[in-house]
Amino acid sequence: MSEALSVVPSRDDVSTGVRDTSVIASGLADVLADTYRLVFKTHAYHWNVEGPAFYSVHKLTEEQYENMFAATDELAERIRALGHLAPSSLADIVSRSKLEDKSGDLSAAEMVEDLAASHERVAHRLHALAEVASERKDIVTEDLATARSAFHEQAAWMLRAIAKG
């Protein structure tokens, strides 16, 4: 094996003025896990939704899972910028996530309500992350958490607006 390919990722000490990066990195990893799980759930509902609201739900969920998939990279890269390793196994993602999967066949309304509730759950975790980051002088993570929370709050609102139809 080439020497260039034998490097094993490791934690680094970063000195940017951010305090207690391990707490922030853990919070970011939790949000990353929820985001990944919500990407999958959103994509699955996108594939399987049917009924009169099909097109609206199908298009909205596509926009949402594309946004969240891009966000997973941003979240993981922030963890790395803080000197920590991002989650690297599906088991770690599942164990860190607070989101639950609904069982059985769901109606379009049940899918939309489940997604809205999941977005609210992620927004809640992001609010907590923003507070933790602020307390530790990490304005970058605080800004990231604020922006991501705004996305999830808007996503929940849009999904709930469709459900009223």
d(CA 79, CA 87): 9
Instruction: Count CA atoms within 13 Å of residue 140 on its CB side.
Output: 16
pLDDT of residue 12: 66
Nearest to 37 by CA among 68, 16, 2: 68
d(CA 151, CA 71): 10
pLDDT of residue 95: 96
SS3 state at 84: coil
For 98-124, the three-class secondary structure string (H helix, E strand, C coil) is CCCCCCCCCCHHHHHHHHHHHHHHHHH
Q: Return the number of other C-beta atoms located less than 10 Å from residue 11's C-beta.
A: 13
* CATH entry, 19-94+107-163, from 1.20.1260.10, 3.10.20.740, 3.40.1190.20, 1.10.10.10: 1.20.1260.10
**pLDDT mean by block of 10 residues, the chain; 165 residues:** 69 76 96 98 96 94 98 98 95 96 93 97 98 96 98 97 82
- Rounded to the nearest 5°, which phi and psi values hold at 2? -65, 145
